[in-house]
Structure 1
Amino acid sequence: MAQPDADGTATTAVVASSVREQAPQQSMNSDGVLVRVRTLLPEFTGALQRVAEQVLTDPASASRATIVELAERSGTSPATVTRFCRALGFDGYADLRLGIAAETGRARSAGWTVDIGREIQPSDPLERVLAQIMAADTRAMHDTAALLDLAEVERAAVAIAAAPRVNIFGASGSALVGEEMQFSLHRIGVPAWAWTDVHNGLASAALSRAGDVALGISHSGATGETIELLAEASSRGATTIALTSFPRSPLAELADIVLITATQATTFRPDALSARHPQLVVLDLLYVAVAQRTHERSHAAFQRTAQAVHGHKAVKDGSSP
């Protein structure tokens, strides 16, 4: 039977143990501590969630706080903070503090001095807004690099390089990212289609065969249409790939291969919009990996497609294109 914490919540050691067992299998060094917290945040409930939110709101203060101080600031108990540490894969609070301190120190030394958590005000000058966006995007790129499993990228590239057909599914902003990937693959001779209409996408997914690839893109991993499309392709034997920010989302659990991105939201760019640039980076890496594995075919296709559109370039200095 679950026993309530001293702070009156019912978050239990059983919950923490369950989350810990599912935590990303990363080395327990200081790399990606805050990334792990953001990734696991949807899994936490009650007191554990309040501790996670407090750490993400002010990581520098968390790295200096005692376990009692962090518990007080998050409205929880020291026992909850201890379970939070173990859910992240740390033996105790001291290890968590060291990890956060090292990560925030790297951020300062890398020049990420803009306070990403600060609200962008309507009166802020564009210079400040630009610095805010650049800092958020730069941090998201580095966090994505820390999260990304290159072995999974390799598996995805091998599957796409050999696929007779690649279907790409996404909605809203993810659809735009999917269309960019379709264009890149198409230019190197990979038969790829990007589907934004669920009816057309389902028809294409239903025609999938073993050896085909279906790529589903969703920041949350909870977009119903994308899940349905990937499930249909999977049921027909296609190899499925998920690109998402949440490794235990429904989309990720459905996929054979999971590629993870990180985000840094700002006031006027919520997570879903902030995910776009990290998604493009991962897909660009995947595209290049596919081109490497089909070098001769890709090079010939790119030359032919470039030559085909060359005549439509603007004439310069009176010379022919």
Structure 2
Amino acid sequence: MLIIEQMRSEHFSDAEQTLVDYMTENPQSLENMTTTALAQITHTNPTSLIRVAKKLGFKGWTDLKEAFLKEWHYLNSNYNSIDANLPFEKQDNLLSIANKLATLEHNTIQDTLSLLDYQNLMQAQEKLLKAKEIKIFGSHTNAMISQDFVTKMRRINRNVSIASTFHYIDYEAYHSTEDTCAIVISYTGENDIMLKCIDMLRERGSSIISLTSIGDNTISKLSDVTLHITTREKLYSKIANFTSNTSIIYLLNLLYAVVFTHDYDVNLEHIIEVGQIFDSRRISSDIMRENKTQ
């Protein structure tokens, strides 16, 4: 759940509600405002700020302010120039649709990039490199999206498999070990099947990397590392999963890249060596031509 949503659903005292109302109506004013100044403007006591923070699950006012402003900046970024749910209209011509989808995909990748945290990415790299096996847990759609990641990882001799809801997902979680790194993909972060798998994975001592939406969702809480999917789409009143799919693909490509770069020269040499042996595709352009060596 987003902080702004928690603020709407939580019960506050009159003084606390005054603070919350000011935050939601004047977020741009909070950046450089001290607790004393905020208390004076809202005619409240500084201790009320602490109580609001505690009710929303934060240790103190500073943590709440930082998280709230980060969320506000994200939700109000320039991304909204194209609607993630209805990126084109029925009167748009074909080239207009093509242009809008290209812009949407570019915006989505930049949006996902803005949500990345260096420490989280480094932790994800460590867990993937340490694992003897990597398992992807996701819905049937997310499993199909993940297939290219599996192919890439297997090309550099990494043991990666997919456990989707259409296969024996519970068994895959049960047969995982402390040498397993699970990548759990869920846009909502509240998928019951995925939550059941996470409970089992935690019992087995497996490490868990989640790809999920922003906000305080359950899957994110239960994961060792979370990488955020761009969060702009409604559940079903949309043309397609354009942005969430693009975001997931980008994050999986990124995870492959951080594994690859750890042994960059070795991995590149291995891919070239295997390609020289097995890749016999015919080409139609010199751009594709390889200079094979024996």
**Global fold match (TM > 0.5):** yes
Match of 1:29 in 2: none
Match of 2:161 in 1: 193
Gaps of 5+ in 1: 1-18, 20-38, 48-76
Among 239, 246, 252, the alignment partner of 1:269 is: 239
Match of 1:125 in 2: 93
Among 279, 282, 292, the alignment partner of 1:310 is: 279
Match of 2:141 in 1: 173
Rounded to whole Å, the distance in 1 between the matches of 2:156 and 2:216 is: 33
Q: 1:9-158, aligned counterparts within 5 Å?
A: 40=3, 43=6, 45=8, 81-84=21-24, 90=31, 91=33, 107=78, 114-116=81-83, 119=86, 120-158=88-126
User: What amino acid maps onto 2:141 in structure 1?
Assistant: G
User: What amino acid maps onto 1:243 in structure 2?
Assistant: L
Cα contact 1:143–1:262 (8 A) shared by 2: yes
Among 219, 222, 238, the alignment partner of 2:190 is: 222
Cα contact 2:27–2:72 (8 A) shared by 1: no
Match of 1:9 in 2: none
Rounded to whole Å, the distance in 1 between the matches of 2:229 and 2:147 is: 18
1:241 to 1:114, Cα distance in 2 relative to 1, 3 A: closer
Among 263, 278, 282, the alignment partner of 1:294 is: 263
Normalising by structure 2, we get a TM-score of 0.68
Aligned-pair identity (%):
16
User: What amino acid maps onto 2:239 in structure 1?
Assistant: R
Counterpart secondary structure, 2:168:
helix
Cα contact 1:114–1:131 (8 A) shared by 2: no
Rounded to whole Å, the distance in 2 between the matches of 1:131 and 1:114 is: 13
User: What amino acid maps onto 1:164 in structure 2?
Assistant: K
Cα contact 1:211–1:238 (8 A) shared by 2: yes
1:309 to 1:198, Cα distance in 2 relative to 1, 3 A: same
Counterpart secondary structure, 1:160:
helix
Q: How many residues align?
A: 246
Rounded to whole Å, the distance in 2 between the matches of 1:256 and 1:164 is: 17
Rounded to whole Å, the distance in 2 between the matches of 1:86 and 1:239 is: 40
1:134 to 1:265, Cα distance in 2 relative to 1, 3 A: farther
Cα contact 1:157–1:287 (8 A) shared by 2: no
Cα contact 2:84–2:104 (8 A) shared by 1: no
Match of 2:252 in 1: 283
How big is the shift at 1:199?
5.1
How big is the shift at 1:155?
0.9
User: What amino acid maps onto 2:158 in structure 1?
Assistant: V
Cα contact 1:116–1:132 (8 A) shared by 2: no
Normalising by structure 1, we get a TM-score of 0.63
Among 255, 258, 267, the alignment partner of 2:226 is: 258
Rounded to whole Å, the distance in 2 between the matches of 1:217 and 1:117 is: 20
